[in-house]
Structure 1
Amino acid sequence: MGKQMFSKPPIQKSHELLLPTTKESCWILVFLLAFGVSSIHGDDGKIDFRYHHYLDLSRVLNDTAASCHEISRVYSVGKSVEGRDLWVIEFSDNPGVHEPGEPEFRYVGNMHGNEAVGREILVYLVQYLCSGYQAGDARIRRLIDQTRIHIMPSMNPDGFERAATLGPDSPRTSTSWGSYGRLNSERIDLNRNFPDMLPVWLLQEESQRRNHHVEIPEWYWDTLVAPETLSVILWSLSQPFVLAGSLHGGSVVVSYPFDSCGLRKVMRSYSEAPDDALFRKLAKVYVDGHRKMGKCGQVEPCNARNFTCKGGMTNGAEWYCVPGGMQDFSYLVTNCLEMTFELSCDKYPGEDELQTYWEDNKEALLSYMEAVHTGIKGFVRDGSGKGVANATISVEGVDHDVTTGELNIFDIKTYFLIPQRLTETTGDCSFRGLTG
């Protein structure tokens, strides 16, 4: 497949109802909620702790969906340059259907093909959720019954297959940063290939235009957009994701928006998002659930930055600038709050280390998914009881709105969720099904 260029956004018409509007507004006064971590239950007996090539990955996902057919399904959001499916497995008590009042969550792994730990951790999570649900694990059953969970183990299956030709030594070679799997088959870094929305957002803010969710600029479609990136953009706009995590390797730390340095282009300068306090609380959920992340003095640091002694988290741009990253795109274009989890110093460790990485991360993975239920959720209706599409929900003190989306034109229920606690509302909007 050749390199793809687009003269205009192919997504505007089909997804225009998911974009923001100022026609309807509700103002909400909130305070941030402290997050807790639950203890983990279940066993790992059915997990196959090894690396999974594309055919193995396809088999495991489909076998898992067949075994847990009542709560899961496998679907593809598109294909890689070399024609491999970008597989997603969904867990829900009603697979394939968005249920009003039930939040949508996603994990994405292996954007960089030679960062293999996150890919395998998600394969293990898939098996763990299925076996735990079948075994009657109360925590897993509650999570799946109340959440629609989407897991994409590999966004860059071509890159992984290339890295796998060298195996665990790949990340240690001088050429592995590019040639051996980091990039896709068109030599595009997928985590630099999304539209860099922060400069657009800042320029619109300076012109006093309401810009809490920014439309993808026309110029982006004249650039080289990888098919993997385009598929994830369309996927992101087709589902009302609320919370997400992207799994990477090369360090052990949680990185939160903004990744982009915006208009300043100053390396290692804090780039604060309007929801900065909330991002830090969500990051702490993952850090607290991890066995080693943020454990100062107990873990050998990956590099001189020594994030283990800095709370196990960092603002993305303060670490280094990433223009065109997925988490900034999610935050500035959609309602989704997304962060990056760096899981290992060694991007492609030996197979005998994989179970340890799973045990380090499994509580954190579950706790972070559970955090999607922290806050409020409900329905915005007009005076006649009809659902209001594209209603704007504004949080006092946070200059970034959340908007409702039209999930089904025949359904009067319009869903929103803010991962914060409601304390007071004003205006004409009617809220239903609020939770604390």
Structure 2
Amino acid sequence: MARIFLCIVLVYGLSLLHLAVSASIHRQNQRGNGYRDHVDVEAYLENLERRFPNLSKLYDIGHSVQGRRLLVLQISSNVTQRQLLKPAFKYVANMHGNEAVGRELMLNLASYLLVNYRTDPRVKALVDNTDIHLMPSMNPDGFAVSREGDCDSLSGRYNANGVDLNRNFPEQFSSPDEALTPEPETSAVMKWLSREPNFVLSANFHGGALVANYPFDSSSQAFQSGFYSASPDDKIFTSLAKTYASVHPTMPLGHQCQGTDHFPNGITNGAHWYNVKGGMQDYSYLHSNTFAITLEVSCCKYPQANKLDSYWNANKESMLSLIEKTHSGVRGTITSSATGAPIAGASVHVYNIDHEIRSSDWGEYWRLLTAGPHILTFSAPGYIKTTIYVVVTANEPLTKHISLDPKA
């Protein structure tokens, strides 16, 4: 009887422990009493870094006009050590200060990944195999003057200098005399994008609509909207947008917000919706190795805080699924056949796609591609070109290590 009693006590104790752990995880996923200001966000991220020192690292990429840190939480196994061929992914939110849902989604996602790392195989695989960077706010100054419950106004949209940050990047279709002076927040992101290794995939959260938007945002048709401006990688961008939209409960329905917008399958080419000159997603694609899309996740730009749980539940699966897409296409290293040394800055070109990516300082490359056959050519100054034929699958990346012969 004593043994039976001890077993009952042990089982009961374990049950209480499980409930306590579950309650702790639940508390980690809560947002307190509502939206958090910049001081609270910084304290929250610092606390996560203290609790999970091997999985998270807090840093900033610069400061806003008013001196607020542009904070990023990096999440990865062995976060302090760079791992060969581990691709980098980033989410950026709150670029328009009054579009606030993405800001809280980033905080909740950070907690979710860290708290569930040891118990959820999917989360563990993501963190083990991906270098994830989360920026809750690119425009903390704008957020500071925004108003909860304001669905439609422009109050807080711009930075403290009154500039729309999503119109402030160098524009592919502008003439040199139209060049804008980058704001501090814009310059910080441009420098961030240029660091080694480049991000493979990225998404930027906005509000005021419900759609996954992909490049190009701008077109050669000046300010004319309704013109489909396809990038060279239109197929993979369409696929990435569908990845996010398809598992969202309402985004694929296409017409969920008041107004005339209608988005088949919950996705749109940016310029076909409306023309945006100087946008971040086009700049990312054209000036780095980063494939970037834009996610509009709420009809109301700054909804009441009591709606935040519903936004988290609607977007969690989509956010995880998009991160997983970092592991698609072809990846590998490019080295010299003579010395075995990595070749930095080597070019990777895909037949019939007029967009090259470059290898990292460690000779790594990641080339996102849709499933199917592709012809890839690898080249570098002083080396003989090498061309290979590959068949990409939808479920996992294809690894191809390339050795280039020096020219005689």
TM-score of Structure 1 vs Structure 2, range by shorter chain: 0.7 to 0.9
Shift in Å, 1:303: 2.1
1:390 and 1:403 in contact (8 A); partners too: yes
Q: Give the equivalent residue in structure 2 for 1:153.
A: 136
Pairing of 1:80-95 with structure 2 (within 5 A): 80-95=64-79
1:235 is aligned to: 192
Given that 1:380 and 1:415 are in contact with CA atoms closer than 8 Å, whether structure 2 keeps it comes out as: yes
CA 1:373–1:249: 2 relative to 1, 3 Å = same
The letter for the 2-side match of 1:391 is A
Query: 2:231 matched to 1:256?
Result: no
Matches within 5 A, 1:197-236: 197-199=172-174, 220=179, 223-236=180-193
1:391 aligned onto 2:391: no
Aligned match of 2:12: none
Q: Which structure 2 residues correspond to residues 188-203 of structure 1 after superposition, within 5 A?
A: 188-199=163-174
Deviation at 1:435, TM superposition (A): 3.2
Measured against aligned partners, the alpha-carbon deviations of 1:228-265 in whole angstroms (never above 9, x if no partner) come to 11111101111411100000000000110000123544
Q: What is the distance in 2 between the residues matched to 1:251 and 1:425?
A: 38
SS at match of 2:219: coil
Partner of residue 326, structure 2: 372
Q: Which residue of 2 aligns with 1:382?
A: 336
Please give the alpha-carbon distance, in whole angstroms, between the structure 2 residues aligned to 1:219 and 1:199: 6
Partner of 1:47: 29
Q: Distance in 1 between matches of 2:272 and 2:377?
A: 37
Structure 2 residue runs without a partner (length 5+): 1-23, 379-384, 389-396, 401-408
Name the TM-score, length of structure 1 as normaliser: 0.77
Q: Using the alignment, how far apart are the partners of 1:278 and 1:390 within structure 2?
A: 23
Larger mean Cα displacement after TM superposition, 348-357 or 262-271? 262-271
How many residues align structurally? Answer: 357
Q: How does 1:300-311 map to 2 (within 5 A)?
A: 300-307=256-263, 310-311=264-265
The answer to whether the 8 A contact 1:91-1:149 is kept is yes
Shift of 1:306: 2.6
Contact conserved, 1:109 with 1:119, CA < 8 A, in 2?
yes
CA deviations 1:345-404 (Å, max 9, x no partner) are 001111110000000000000000000001111001122222111111110111111111
RMSD: 2.2
For residue 128 of structure 2, what is the amino acid of its counterpart?
D
| Aligned residue number for residue 118 of structure 1 | 102
Distance 1:127 1:288 in 2: 24
| Within-5 A mapping of 1:247-396 | 247-262=205-220, 264-295=222-253, 300-307=256-263, 310-384=264-338, 385-396=340-351
Determine what percentage of the aligned residue pairs are the same residue.
38
Match of 1:415 in 2: 364
Return closer, same or farther for 1:82/1:68 CA change in 2, 3 Å cut-off.
same
Structure 1 position 45, deviation (Å): 4.6
State the distance in 1 between where 2:81 and 2:51 align: 19
Which residue identity is paired with 2:304?
G
In structure 1, the partner of 2:19 is: none
In our comparison, the structure showing a higher alpha carbon Rg is: 2
Specify every segment of 5 or more residues in structure 1 that has no aligned partner in the other structure, as ranges: 1-41, 201-216, 407-412
Q: In structure 2, do the counterparts of structure 1 residues 44 and 306 end up closer, same or farther at CA, with 3 Å as the change threshold?
A: farther
Displacement over 3 Å in runs of 4+: 42-45, 217-220, 299-302, 421-431, 433-436
The answer as to whether partners of 1:193 and 1:226 remain within 8 angstroms in 2 is yes
